[in-house]
Amino acid sequence: MTTVLKLGGSVITDKTDPETVDETNLGRAADALAGRTDVVVVHGGGSFGHHHADRHGVSTTAGTRDPEGVRAIHGAMKRLDAAVVDALADVDVPALPVHPMSAAHRGTDGSLSLPTGQVRAMLEEGFVPVLHGDGVVHAGEGVTVLSGDELVVALADALGADRVGVCSAVEGVYGDDGAVIDRIETFDDAAGALGGSDATDVSGGMAGKVQRLLGSAAPAWVFGLDDLGAFLDGGDPGTRVG
Ligand code: IPE
* pLDDT digit string, tens, across residues 126-176: 999 999 999 999 999 999 999 999 999 999 999 999 999 999 999 999 988
| 237 in contact with ligand 1, CB cutoff 6 A | no
Residue spans of the domains in the chain: they are: 3-241
d(CA 100, CA 74): 10
Among 60, 203, 209, the mutation site with the greatest number of ligand 1 atoms within 8 A of its Cβ is 203
d(CA 98, CA 119): 8
Start-to-end Cα distance in the chain: 18
User: What pTM does this model have?
Assistant: 0.95
Closest atom, ligand 1, to C-alpha of 58: 5
Closest atom, ligand 1, to C-alpha of 135: 6
For the purposes of burial, counting CB atoms within 10 Å of the CB of 138, is it exposed (0-12), middle (13-18) or buried (19 or more)?
Answer: buried
Distance (Å) from CA 45 to ligand 1 centroid: 4
d(CA 63, CA 156): 26
d(CA 157, CA 65): 30
So what CATH class is 3-241?
A: alpha beta
Q: Which residue has the higher pLDDT, 43 or 174?
A: 43
Tens digit of each residue's pLDDT (9 = 90 or more) over 179-210? 999 999 998 888 777 764 444 444 557 888 89
